[in-house]
Chains A and B, each alone.
Chain A
Protein backbone atom coordinates (compact mmCIF):
# COMPACT_ATOMS: atom_id res chain seq x y z
CA UNK A 1 0.00 0.00 0.00
CA UNK A 2 1.50 3.30 -0.96
CA UNK A 3 2.31 5.67 1.84
CA UNK A 4 -0.21 8.38 0.97
CA UNK A 5 -3.02 5.82 0.97
CA UNK A 6 -1.89 4.41 4.28
CA UNK A 7 -1.84 7.92 5.75
CA UNK A 8 -5.33 8.57 4.40
CA UNK A 9 -6.58 5.32 5.96
CA UNK A 10 -5.17 6.09 9.40
CA UNK A 11 -6.29 9.72 9.15
CA UNK A 12 -9.89 8.85 8.36
CA UNK A 13 -9.90 6.01 10.92
CA UNK A 14 -8.68 8.31 13.71
CA UNK A 15 -10.98 11.17 12.73
CA UNK A 16 -14.02 8.89 12.53
CA UNK A 17 -13.18 7.22 15.84
CA UNK A 18 -12.56 10.57 17.52
CA UNK A 19 -15.84 12.08 16.32
CA UNK A 20 -17.94 9.17 17.61
CA UNK A 21 -16.04 8.76 20.87
CA UNK A 22 -16.57 12.48 21.57
CA UNK A 23 -20.24 12.44 20.57
CA UNK A 24 -20.91 9.29 22.60
CA UNK A 25 -19.25 10.57 25.76
CA UNK A 26 -21.20 13.84 25.71
CA UNK A 27 -24.49 11.95 25.38
CA UNK A 28 -23.62 9.27 27.93
CA UNK A 29 -23.02 12.01 30.51
CA UNK A 30 -26.66 13.17 30.41
CA UNK A 31 -28.94 10.34 29.22
CA UNK A 32 -32.19 11.98 30.40
CA UNK A 33 -31.55 15.14 28.40
CA UNK A 34 -30.48 13.03 25.41
CA UNK A 35 -33.73 11.03 25.69
CA UNK A 36 -35.57 14.34 25.39
CA UNK A 37 -33.73 15.08 22.18
CA UNK A 38 -34.50 11.65 20.78
CA UNK A 39 -38.16 12.27 21.68
CA UNK A 40 -38.09 15.54 19.71
CA UNK A 41 -37.77 13.45 16.56
CA UNK A 42 -41.25 12.05 17.34
CA UNK A 43 -40.35 8.67 15.90
CA UNK A 44 -40.40 6.36 18.93
CA UNK A 45 -42.93 5.59 21.69
CA UNK A 46 -42.24 7.32 25.03
CA UNK A 47 -40.15 4.70 26.85
CA UNK A 48 -38.17 3.71 23.75
CA UNK A 49 -36.61 7.18 23.68
CA UNK A 50 -35.04 6.34 27.03
CA UNK A 51 -33.85 2.94 25.81
CA UNK A 52 -32.24 4.57 22.78
CA UNK A 53 -30.62 7.18 25.01
CA UNK A 54 -29.29 4.43 27.26
CA UNK A 55 -27.71 2.34 24.48
CA UNK A 56 -26.74 4.58 21.57
CA UNK A 57 -23.98 6.57 23.33
CA UNK A 58 -22.18 3.37 24.36
CA UNK A 59 -22.35 1.98 20.84
CA UNK A 60 -20.74 5.19 19.59
CA UNK A 61 -18.11 5.10 22.35
CA UNK A 62 -17.21 1.45 21.74
CA UNK A 63 -16.92 1.81 17.97
CA UNK A 64 -14.97 5.05 18.36
CA UNK A 65 -12.55 3.37 20.77
CA UNK A 66 -12.04 0.36 18.50
CA UNK A 67 -11.24 2.65 15.57
CA UNK A 68 -8.83 4.74 17.62
CA UNK A 69 -7.11 1.57 18.88
CA UNK A 70 -6.98 0.13 15.35
CA UNK A 71 -8.76 -3.05 16.51
CA UNK A 72 -11.78 -4.63 14.80
CA UNK A 73 -11.76 -1.73 12.36
CA UNK A 74 -14.05 -3.33 9.79
CA UNK A 75 -16.93 -4.36 12.07
CA UNK A 76 -16.73 -1.05 13.97
CA UNK A 77 -16.84 0.86 10.68
CA UNK A 78 -19.75 -1.29 9.54
CA UNK A 79 -21.73 -0.53 12.70
CA UNK A 80 -20.98 3.20 12.43
CA UNK A 81 -21.97 3.14 8.75
CA UNK A 82 -25.33 1.57 9.57
CA UNK A 83 -25.82 4.00 12.48
CA UNK A 84 -25.01 6.90 10.21
CA UNK A 85 -27.57 5.70 7.68
CA UNK A 86 -30.18 5.58 10.44
CA UNK A 87 -29.23 9.14 11.49
CA UNK A 88 -29.50 10.35 7.90
CA UNK A 89 -32.94 8.72 7.51
CA UNK A 90 -34.15 10.27 10.80
CA UNK A 91 -32.88 13.73 9.82
CA UNK A 92 -34.44 13.42 6.36
CA UNK A 93 -37.75 12.51 8.00
CA UNK A 94 -37.52 15.71 10.08
CA UNK A 95 -37.03 17.77 6.94
CA UNK A 96 -39.92 16.02 5.17
CA UNK A 97 -42.21 16.54 8.19
CA UNK A 98 -41.09 20.17 8.56
CA UNK A 99 -39.90 19.73 12.16
CA UNK A 100 -37.12 22.15 13.08
CA UNK A 101 -35.33 20.89 16.21
CA UNK A 102 -31.74 20.66 17.37
CA UNK A 103 -30.32 17.44 15.94
CA UNK A 104 -28.97 16.27 19.34
CA UNK A 105 -25.85 15.07 17.58
CA UNK A 106 -23.35 16.10 20.25
CA UNK A 107 -23.98 17.96 23.52
CA UNK A 108 -27.57 17.29 24.69
CA UNK A 109 -27.96 20.63 26.49
CA UNK A 110 -26.18 22.79 23.93
CA UNK A 111 -27.44 26.31 23.38
CA UNK A 112 -26.27 26.09 19.79
CA UNK A 113 -28.86 24.86 17.37
CA UNK A 114 -27.82 22.54 14.55
CA UNK A 115 -30.66 22.40 12.05
CA UNK A 116 -31.69 19.06 10.51
CA UNK A 117 -30.33 20.08 7.10
CA UNK A 118 -26.86 21.06 8.30
CA UNK A 119 -26.74 17.92 10.47
CA UNK A 120 -27.68 15.84 7.44
CA UNK A 121 -24.91 17.43 5.37
CA UNK A 122 -22.46 16.75 8.19
CA UNK A 123 -23.58 13.12 8.31
CA UNK A 124 -22.98 12.81 4.58
CA UNK A 125 -19.42 14.02 5.27
CA UNK A 126 -19.09 11.37 7.99
CA UNK A 127 -20.35 8.80 5.47
CA UNK A 128 -17.38 9.70 3.25
CA UNK A 129 -15.08 8.96 6.21
CA UNK A 130 -16.87 5.63 6.80
CA UNK A 131 -16.47 4.60 3.17
CA UNK A 132 -12.84 5.75 3.02
CA UNK A 133 -11.98 3.78 6.14
CA UNK A 134 -13.91 0.72 4.95
CA UNK A 135 -12.41 0.45 1.47
CA UNK A 136 -8.85 1.41 2.40
CA UNK A 137 -8.90 -1.11 5.25
CA UNK A 138 -10.05 -3.80 2.87
CA UNK A 139 -7.33 -2.88 0.41
CA UNK A 140 -4.68 -2.82 3.14
CA UNK A 141 -5.76 -6.27 4.33
CA UNK A 142 -5.67 -7.66 0.82
CA UNK A 143 -2.21 -6.34 0.18
CA UNK A 144 -0.93 -7.63 3.50
CA UNK A 145 -2.25 -11.10 2.70
CA UNK A 146 -0.91 -11.08 -0.87
Chain B
Protein backbone atom coordinates (compact mmCIF):
# COMPACT_ATOMS: atom_id res chain seq x y z
CA UNK B 1 0.00 0.00 0.00
CA UNK B 2 2.65 2.41 1.06
CA UNK B 3 4.95 1.95 -1.85
CA UNK B 4 2.01 2.31 -4.23
CA UNK B 5 0.63 5.59 -2.94
CA UNK B 6 3.68 7.56 -2.05
CA UNK B 7 7.23 7.23 -3.29
CA UNK B 8 9.23 5.50 -0.59
CA UNK B 9 12.85 6.18 0.30
CA UNK B 10 14.21 4.05 -2.51
CA UNK B 11 11.94 5.70 -5.09
CA UNK B 12 13.19 9.13 -4.05
CA UNK B 13 16.78 7.94 -4.15
CA UNK B 14 16.26 6.65 -7.65
CA UNK B 15 14.59 9.90 -8.70
CA UNK B 16 17.44 11.99 -7.30
CA UNK B 17 19.97 9.71 -8.94
CA UNK B 18 18.25 10.16 -12.30
CA UNK B 19 18.17 13.94 -11.81
CA UNK B 20 21.89 13.90 -11.03
CA UNK B 21 22.55 11.84 -14.16
CA UNK B 22 20.62 14.41 -16.26
CA UNK B 23 22.68 17.25 -14.75
CA UNK B 24 25.94 15.37 -15.27
CA UNK B 25 25.18 14.60 -18.92
CA UNK B 26 24.14 18.22 -19.57
CA UNK B 27 27.32 19.48 -17.90
CA UNK B 28 29.51 17.11 -19.91
CA UNK B 29 27.88 18.19 -23.18
CA UNK B 30 27.90 21.88 -22.26
CA UNK B 31 31.56 21.80 -21.20
CA UNK B 32 32.69 19.91 -24.27
CA UNK B 33 30.81 22.34 -26.56
CA UNK B 34 32.19 25.45 -24.80
CA UNK B 35 35.46 24.18 -23.34
CA UNK B 36 37.63 26.92 -24.80
CA UNK B 37 35.28 29.73 -23.77
CA UNK B 38 35.09 28.52 -20.16
CA UNK B 39 38.84 27.87 -19.88
CA UNK B 40 39.64 31.31 -21.32
CA UNK B 41 37.24 32.95 -18.88
CA UNK B 42 38.78 31.19 -15.88
CA UNK B 43 42.39 31.77 -16.92
CA UNK B 44 41.85 35.47 -17.62
CA UNK B 45 42.23 35.20 -21.37
CA UNK B 46 39.94 37.09 -23.68
CA UNK B 47 36.68 35.46 -24.69
CA UNK B 48 36.07 36.92 -28.12
CA UNK B 49 33.58 35.61 -30.64
CA UNK B 50 35.37 33.56 -33.29
CA UNK B 51 34.64 35.76 -36.34
CA UNK B 52 36.31 38.72 -34.66
CA UNK B 53 39.45 36.70 -33.97
CA UNK B 54 39.91 35.58 -37.58
CA UNK B 55 39.43 39.05 -39.00
CA UNK B 56 41.93 40.37 -36.46
CA UNK B 57 44.55 38.00 -37.77
CA UNK B 58 43.75 38.57 -41.43
CA UNK B 59 43.85 42.34 -41.57
CA UNK B 60 46.74 44.28 -40.03
CA UNK B 61 44.73 47.49 -39.63
CA UNK B 62 42.67 45.97 -36.87
CA UNK B 63 43.56 46.46 -33.22
CA UNK B 64 45.07 43.53 -31.33
CA UNK B 65 43.18 42.11 -28.37
CA UNK B 66 44.88 42.40 -25.02
CA UNK B 67 44.28 40.49 -21.79
CA UNK B 68 43.86 41.83 -18.30
CA UNK B 69 47.42 41.12 -17.12
CA UNK B 70 48.89 42.87 -20.14
CA UNK B 71 46.49 45.79 -19.72
CA UNK B 72 47.97 46.38 -16.28
CA UNK B 73 51.52 46.22 -17.64
CA UNK B 74 50.68 48.62 -20.47
CA UNK B 75 49.01 51.04 -18.05
CA UNK B 76 52.08 51.00 -15.83
CA UNK B 77 54.09 51.92 -18.94
CA UNK B 78 51.84 54.91 -19.67
CA UNK B 79 49.01 53.56 -21.82
CA UNK B 80 45.62 55.30 -21.84
CA UNK B 81 42.30 53.53 -21.28
CA UNK B 82 39.54 54.66 -23.65
CA UNK B 83 35.92 53.92 -22.74
CA UNK B 84 33.82 53.23 -25.85
CA UNK B 85 30.49 52.99 -24.01
CA UNK B 86 27.79 55.65 -23.83
CA UNK B 87 28.58 58.74 -21.79
CA UNK B 88 25.93 57.82 -19.22
CA UNK B 89 27.54 54.46 -18.54
CA UNK B 90 30.94 56.14 -18.24
CA UNK B 91 29.58 58.65 -15.72
CA UNK B 92 28.03 55.84 -13.66
CA UNK B 93 31.26 53.84 -13.40
CA UNK B 94 34.42 53.39 -15.42
CA UNK B 95 37.90 51.96 -15.11
CA UNK B 96 40.08 54.25 -13.03
CA UNK B 97 41.96 56.67 -15.25
CA UNK B 98 39.90 55.98 -18.36
CA UNK B 99 38.73 58.74 -20.69
CA UNK B 100 35.32 58.67 -22.34
CA UNK B 101 35.10 58.42 -26.12
CA UNK B 102 31.69 56.93 -26.97
CA UNK B 103 31.70 55.19 -30.35
CA UNK B 104 28.45 56.93 -31.34
CA UNK B 105 29.91 60.39 -30.73
CA UNK B 106 33.37 59.81 -32.17
CA UNK B 107 32.92 62.20 -35.10
CA UNK B 108 32.22 65.20 -32.90
CA UNK B 109 34.75 64.29 -30.21
CA UNK B 110 37.71 63.11 -32.28
CA UNK B 111 39.27 66.53 -32.90
CA UNK B 112 39.34 67.38 -29.21
CA UNK B 113 40.67 63.90 -28.43
CA UNK B 114 43.49 64.35 -30.96
CA UNK B 115 44.55 67.60 -29.33
CA UNK B 116 44.73 65.93 -25.94
CA UNK B 117 46.29 62.60 -26.81
CA UNK B 118 49.49 62.13 -28.82
CA UNK B 119 49.33 59.78 -31.82
CA UNK B 120 52.11 57.56 -30.50
CA UNK B 121 50.49 56.88 -27.15
CA UNK B 122 49.30 53.32 -26.53
CA UNK B 123 45.49 53.29 -26.36
CA UNK B 124 43.44 50.49 -24.81
CA UNK B 125 39.75 50.55 -25.73
CA UNK B 126 37.08 48.72 -23.78
CA UNK B 127 33.29 48.47 -23.50
CA UNK B 128 30.87 46.19 -21.63
CA UNK B 129 32.73 42.94 -22.35
CA UNK B 130 31.05 39.64 -23.29
CA UNK B 131 31.52 40.13 -27.01
CA UNK B 132 30.45 43.80 -27.13
CA UNK B 133 31.67 45.15 -30.48
CA UNK B 134 32.05 48.87 -29.65
CA UNK B 135 35.61 48.72 -28.26
CA UNK B 136 36.79 46.84 -31.34
CA UNK B 137 35.02 49.23 -33.75
CA UNK B 138 36.41 52.23 -31.88
CA UNK B 139 39.88 50.69 -32.09
CA UNK B 140 39.57 50.35 -35.87
CA UNK B 141 38.48 53.99 -36.20
CA UNK B 142 41.29 55.22 -33.95
CA UNK B 143 43.82 53.34 -36.08
CA UNK B 144 42.33 54.97 -39.17
CA UNK B 145 42.53 58.34 -37.40
CA UNK B 146 46.29 57.97 -37.16
CA UNK B 147 46.85 56.36 -33.76
CA UNK B 148 49.61 53.81 -34.13
CA UNK B 149 49.18 51.57 -31.12
CA UNK B 150 45.60 50.66 -30.32
CA UNK B 151 44.65 47.55 -28.35
CA UNK B 152 41.26 46.18 -27.33
CA UNK B 153 40.57 44.91 -23.82
CA UNK B 154 37.74 42.49 -24.63
CA UNK B 155 36.94 41.58 -21.02
CA UNK B 156 35.92 45.22 -20.63
CA UNK B 157 34.33 46.80 -17.62
CA UNK B 158 32.95 43.59 -16.00
CA UNK B 159 36.24 41.67 -16.05
CA UNK B 160 38.12 44.64 -14.62
CA UNK B 161 35.56 45.25 -11.88
CA UNK B 162 35.25 41.58 -10.95
CA UNK B 163 39.03 41.31 -10.69
CA UNK B 164 38.75 43.85 -7.87
CA UNK B 165 40.59 46.59 -9.78
CA UNK B 166 39.70 50.23 -9.08
CA UNK B 167 36.68 51.80 -10.75
CA UNK B 168 35.36 55.32 -10.35
CA UNK B 169 32.14 57.19 -11.18
CA UNK B 170 29.00 58.78 -9.80
CA UNK B 171 27.04 55.53 -9.50
CA UNK B 172 29.34 53.91 -6.96
A, B co-complexed: yes
B4 A50 Cβ-Cβ under 8 A: no
B52 to chain A, nearest CB (A): 10
B30 A54 Cβ-Cβ under 8 A: yes
Dominant SS among interface residues on chain B: helix
Q: Does B112 contact A (CB under 8 A)?
A: no
A74 B18 Cβ-Cβ under 8 A: yes
Instruction: Point out the residues of chain B lying under 8 angstroms from A62, CB to CB.
Output: 22, 25-26, 29
Closest A residue to B156 by beta carbon equals A36
Q: Interface readout for B107-118 with A: 1 if CB under 8 Å, 0 if not?
A: 000000000000
Q: Does B23 contact A (CB under 8 A)?
A: yes
Q: Does A17 contact B (CB under 8 A)?
A: no
Q: How many A-B residue pairs have CB under 8 A?
A: 99
List residues of B (7-47) whose CB comes within 8 Å of A's CBs: 7, 15-16, 18-19, 21-23, 25-27, 29-31, 33-34, 37-38, 40-42, 47
B14 to chain A, nearest CB (A): 9
B126 to chain A, nearest CB (A): 14
Q: Does A47 contact B (CB under 8 A)?
A: yes
Instruction: Point out the residues of chain A lying under 8 angstroms from B33, CB to CB.
Output: 28, 54, 58
A112 to chain B, nearest CB (A): 19
A79 and B49 in contact (CB under 8 A), knowing A51-B41, A72-B18? no
B122 to chain A, nearest CB (A): 24
Closest A residue to B154 by beta carbon equals A32
Closest A residue to B48 by beta carbon equals A32
B19 A59 Cβ-Cβ under 8 A: no
A21 to chain B, nearest CB (A): 13
Chain A's interface size range is: 20 to 34
Max count, chain A CB within 10 A of own CB: residue among B29, B31, B132, B163? B29
List residues of A (26-61) whose CB comes within 8 Å of B's CBs: 28, 31-33, 35-36, 39, 45-47, 49-51, 53-59, 61
A116 to B34, CA, bound (A): 28
A1 to B33, CA, bound (A): 42
Instruction: Point out the residues of chain A lying under 8 angstroms from B37, CB to CB.
Output: 31-32, 35, 50, 53-54
B18 A32 Cβ-Cβ under 8 A: no
A54 B19 Cβ-Cβ under 8 A: no
Q: Does B147 contact A (CB under 8 A)?
A: no
Identify 9 new A-B residue pairs, CB closer than 8 A, beyond the known A32-B47, A72-B18, A75-B16: A36-B129, A36-B132, A47-B42, A49-B158, A50-B37, A59-B26, A63-B22, A72-B22, A75-B22
Binding site for A on B (CB under 8 A): 4-5, 7, 15-16, 18-19, 21-23, 25-27, 29-31, 33-34, 37-38, 40-42, 47-49, 128-132, 155, 158-159, 162-163
* Interface pairs (13), CB distance under 8 Å: A31-B37, A32-B49, A35-B130, A36-B129, A46-B162, A50-B38, A50-B40, A50-B42, A53-B37, A54-B31, A72-B18, A78-B15, A79-B19
